[in-house]
Amino acid sequence: MPLRLDIKRKLSCRSDRVKSVDLHPTESWMLASLYNGQVHIWNYETQTMVKTFEVCDLPVRCSKFVPRKSWVITGSDDMQIRAFNYNTLERVHGFEAHSDYVRCIAVHPTQPFVLSSSDDMSIKLWDWDKKWQCSQTFEGHTHYVMQVTFNPKDNNTFASASLDRTIKVWQLGSPQPNYTLEGHEKGVNTIDYYHGGDKPYLISGADDRLVKIWDYQNKNCVQTLSGHAQNISAVSFHPDLPIILTGSEDGTIRIWHAKHGSNSIAIGYDEGSVVLKLGREEPAVSMDNSGKIIWAKHSEIQQANLKTVGDAEIKDGERLPLSSNGRFVVVCGDGEYIIYTAMALRNKSFGPAQEFVWSPDSSGYAIRESSVSIKLFKNFKEIRSFKPDFGADGIFAGPLLGVKSSNNLSFYDWESLQLIRRIEIQAKGVHWAENGEQLAISTDENYFVLKYDANAVAAFLESKEPVPEDGIEDAFDVVGDVQETVKTGFWIGDCFIYTNSVNRLNYFVGGEIVTVAHLDRILYLLGYIPKDNRIYLADKDLNVTSYLCLLSVLEYQTAVMRRDFQTADRVLPTIPKEQRTRVAQFLEKQGFKSQALAVTADPEHKFELALSLKDLKAVYELAKEAESVQKWKQLGALAMKSSNLQLAEECMFHAADYTGLLLLANCSGNRELMTRLATIADDKQNFNVAFSASWSLGKLENCLEILIKSGRLPEAALFAKTYVPSHVSRVLAIWKEKMGRTNVKAAQALADPAQYPNLFANFEDSLKAEQFYQAERAELVPASSHSQLPKLDDRKLIEEALAAEKDGDFKYDPDALPLQADNIDSLTEGTKSEGGQSSITDHHDRDYVPSSRLPKRMEEVPHDPIKPTATVVRNAPAENHQSSTRNGVLNGGSGASESDEIDQIEEDLNNLDFGGGEGNHDLNSDNENSLI
């Protein structure tokens, strides 16, 4: 019986005549050297040309990848060997290697050596580490040397094929061949070594149209293969499958059954190149619930358990599905099936079949005999057969018998063969859950999770209504559609575990995808053993790998999906603490944030959950534990939105958010908070906030001292002249002293109003106005009186002072000392730590004392809208104009970012509901001298 191989074309590209091809060991690349002097690199996964090299104008007869150097090495008819970097496309080196055409090159697998053969009848060894020096020349052939290849079992020996009808085996370091193999009647074109470790074979193809297999240890021909009608141009042992590939000038490629890596082969011919995949990549292996593994190795069946399978050298083959009760195992391949007992592997039944699946009750099975015939068996006896309406390209096991055709998937009842449902989909695989309620259908690009309603099907069949052409519509409901390619998969409860095309081990539960592990190579699922809490996978060589996947976590997630919270609560204590956060993330995605908050063990996750739930108390406690400025800011924003201004104040202090505190104090009319803020901001050299706070409090002398302290002496002088003229002389003296260090003339040009009153009109009157309005500046007027206050633009302050003096209501004292700035100690009384620094400035401080004017802390905050009591402070300039420094940036240019923060907080404050009681007015008053 001929060998049945599933052959799929992965790439077909047209080009000029192809002289040689090579496959990259790790990338999806094929290298093709052409007769027109070009070399192309194709990606056979994307079907695109990714690189091209213009080598020369003559044919390039051979090219090879050198992955460890990122090189492509070429040999051409211009007698040169060239090396190119396939990443940068630059030529690394080029030199004349022979005196005639270069026929073949071979790269040593570990050493920096390259062998080349030529029509000059010689073989040369080149060392790229020695600047491509010719280390050795091998002479002995009497005609063209067509090919050379290294022995994969002994890298110090190689073989050569020549048109002198011989094959010679050489040793590096020796100029003479070890021995010569003779047997072909015409010139030998091609040779290849067998890669396996069990046979010392060498294969050759010649112009006598024969393929010979040689035992190079015994130096004799063990087999001759005939069948080609023309010269043999290429031969190769497949590196993994037990087959031989031969190509001939008769236009055919023959695959001979001969009894690692990839199943892909590259073929070059006169009109282009093609990449084929022979067989299947997935290994023929199956595992039962006890950990017993059975697999195929060539034509043998072998067994192992999980304790020893990791040490076994296992190759792939065809699928070996175990029956559900584990008593039987079936082998299906080469057009027939054989059922064995699982323990003793005794033959139980056999017959012709393309595919085989077990039925759910383990005593029956179905076979696909051909694309038009499916047969069902019970207790090893055929009970019925049928012909699917749309043909049968494949069958699937499960509670329903699945039959796929080219464009649809049909489900039939096992007993009656009644059509249950037909779905228009190009199915690649069908995976049923153990309870028969859910299934996953995979395609080449995605997979669908469906829910099977057995009760709806039973009710419809009992109604005796005729089944529609596409089956029972209510049989399935779509649960999820995931854009991932499933390689292998199975169910654990309501969790679908699978490997995808990007080597990730995931599981799908409740519409969410959870990644268990990122795999470092292609692995195939074997199964899950609950007592081990592990998922087992195997690669092509049957090296078994396992990953932890707790059954308690899967049971908990399954219970949550079924809304069985009683079971979920029972399972939760069995989940280890390190897995709680993963469970909490699942709960969060399902919308159960409160439960997730109680389950999670990650403080960061817990904080985010509490924040999203607006649980101020929980967020507050977590922020205190974390001691994070960012968390205090987040809590402060939440407190503002929740109208909890007392908590917002505390958060802003812990976060050192002075601009936010400034706005909060302004909007709430809190003089105590504003006073403390002015002192703290000044201590921290946040002069912009300190100036604004002092200005809002009407403490003009403090504003002046801040300007002096920040080095803004010109502004301080102008401010003093405008608002506190009694301080002009002092400020001017400081300014002149500083300016005199760099520019004496400019300093001398500054005039003191006290010394030159003739240069400053009404200066003495402004001193009277300052003294007259000192008492009024200290008076705080309620915000409710704002509408009754006269506008500052309409007032004539100097005229008012002079009128009061004339009427006897005010007496100017020219000897009175100017009002000084507040004592800093008095401002911070009760807020300093033992070290003298204000404890409230340290955002890690635990002894925060809230301002009395703000609402109570969150535990005591009332549900009624907040109605803060506001006051108005009037800061009128001593002259009839307003200061330009009102909103100036005084602390080194940070005003822009602070302004952005103020805008955001102001927006939050504008959204607050302050109630509609008497005395509440617009917070955005036009009066810039009011504190509301």
Can you spell out the DSSP letters for 786-820?
Answer: GGGSPPGGG--HHHHHHHHHHHTS----TTSPPPP
Question: 682 and 667 in contact (C-beta within 8 Å)?
Answer: no
- Amino acid present at 10: K
Distance separating alpha carbons of residues 167 and 165, to the nearest angstrom:
7
160 contacts 190 by C-beta, under 8 angstroms: no
Report strand pairing: 438-442 vs 447-452: antiparallel
CATH 2.130.10.10 fits 9-278, yes or no: yes
Annotate 875-891 with DSSP letters as a single string: ---SSSS--TTTT---S
Q: Please report the pLDDT score of residue 7 as a whole number.
A: 65
> How far from 673 is each of 787, 827, 912, CA to CA, in Å?
25, 11, 20
Between the alpha carbon of residue 27 and those of residues 14, 675, 816, the distances in Å are 21, 70, 91
**Which candidate, 821, 809, 807, 729, places its Cα nearest to that of 767?**
729
CA dihedral 179, 182, 188, 191 (to 10 degrees): -50
Q: Which helix (H) or strand (E) holds 72?
A: strand 71-76
* Displacement of CA 565 from its chain's centroid (Å): 32
Q: What is the DSSP letter of 46?
A: T
Contact by Cβ (8 Å): 178, 171: yes
The answer to whether 146 touches 104, Cβ cutoff 8 Å, is yes
Q: What is the residue-wise DSSP string for 358-407?
A: E-TTSSEEEEEEETTEEEEEETTEEEEEE--TT--SEEE-SSSEEEE-SS
Q: Is 800 exposed, middle or buried (0-12, 13-18, 19+ CB in 10 A)?
A: middle
For tokens 């051979």, the residue is: 62
CATH topology of domain 643-910: 1.25.40
Rounded distance between C-alpha atoms, residue 39 and residue 28, angstroms? 16
> Strand (E) positions, 519-663?
524-529, 534-538, 544-548
Q: Which DSSP category does 814 fall into?
A: T
Please answer whether residues 238 and 245 qualify as being in contact, where contact means their C-beta atoms are separated by less than 8 angstroms. Answer: yes
Output the pLDDT for position 295: 65
CA atoms within 13 A on the CB side of 442: 20
The encoded tokens of residue 575 equal 């989940």
Give every strand in the sheet of 145-151, ordered side by side.
145-151, 154-162, 166-171, 179-182
Q: Minimal CA–CA distance to 75: which of 183, 168, 147?
A: 147
CA–chain centroid gap for 280, Å, is 30
The per-residue DSSP string of 493-542 comes to TTEEEEEETTSEEEEEETTEEEEEEE-SS--EEEEEETTTTEEEEE-TT-
pLDDT along the chain (932 residues), means of 10: 56 77 88 91 88 91 93 94 92 93 94 94 94 93 94 93 95 92 93 84 92 90 86 84 81 62 50 51 68 64 55 33 58 77 75 87 86 88 87 91 91 91 92 91 92 92 89 91 91 90 87 84 85 81 80 82 81 82 80 82 81 83 82 84 84 85 84 87 89 87 90 90 88 90 87 85 85 76 74 79 85 74 43 34 46 44 34 37 32 39 44 35 30 22
Q: Are 50 and 36 in contact (CB under 8 A)?
A: no
Q: Which of 288, 199, 280, 181 is nearest to 244 (CA)?
A: 199
The burial class, CB within 10 Å (0-12 / 13-18 / 19+), for 444 is exposed
Between the alpha carbon of residue 238 and those of residues 264, 612, 772, the distances in Å are 9, 60, 107
Q: By C-alpha distance, which of 723, 730, 665 is closest to 698?
A: 723
Please, what's the b/e burial string for 127-155 (b: 16 or more CB within 10 A of its CB; e: otherwise)?
A: bbeeebeeebebebbeebbbbbbbbeeee
* Measured distance CA(557)–CA(676) in Å, rounded: 52
- Residue 160 main-chain phi, psi, to 5 deg: -135, 145
Q: How many residues can be counted in the chain?
A: 932
> Where exactly does CATH 1.25.40 map onto the chain?
643-910
For residues 905 and 923, give the distance between their C-alpha atoms in angstroms, rounded to a whole number: 13
- Using DSSP's 3-state secondary structure scheme, residue 928 falls into coil
Instruction: Report CA Rg, the chain.
Output: 45
Domain at 285-487, CATH class: mainly beta
Rounded to the nearest 10 degrees, how much is the dihedral formed by the CA atoms of 135, 140, 143, 147? -50
For CATH 2.130.10.10, the residue range(s) in the chain are: 9-278, 285-487
Q: What is the pLDDT of residue 76?
A: 93
Assess contact for 158 and 142: CB atoms under 8 A.
no
Single-letter residue type at 202: L
